[in-house]
Amino acid sequence: MKNDKIEQLLNKKAKSPTPGLTPDPFLATRIAAIADGKKQEKAGGALVSNWSFASVITAFAVVLGVYFGSAILDSEVQNTDDVFSEYSQAFYQTGFAENFETTLDSGGSEE
């Protein structure tokens, strides 16, 4: 009999015993700010990742440049060739000091 009563009670639809709540009137504004913040964060993240990628590439290029530069300096390779030496001799202008020295040298040898 009592079990029937429980069954009857459970079979019917009922109004929830949960008391009512009042929503926060300012939540909409906060949500808009949260969602916009998220969007900006995403955009900022992409920008930062672009910047950091560019920085890494630049640093790598600098290191690579220094490495190759020092490798060239240290090498035993002859950097001048005949054409270059001819060219420099043709355009080489003797200075006043050198002329003076030549004169002195030649004067001395005459004595």
Nearer to other proteins, 34 or 59 (CB): 34
Side chain identity at residue 86, one-letter code: E
Nearer to other proteins, 12 or 111 (CB): 12
The DSSP H or E segment spanning 43 is: helix 27-74
Q: φ and ψ at 16, to 5 degrees? A: -65, 140
- Please report whether residue 43 would count as binding other proteins according to CB under 8 A: no
Q: Which is nearer to other proteins, 25 or 95 (CB)?
A: 25
- Residue given tokens 């949960």 in the structure block: 18
Place of tokens 């995403």: 42
Binding site for other proteins (CB under 8 A): 2-3, 5-7, 9-11, 13-25, 27-32, 34-35
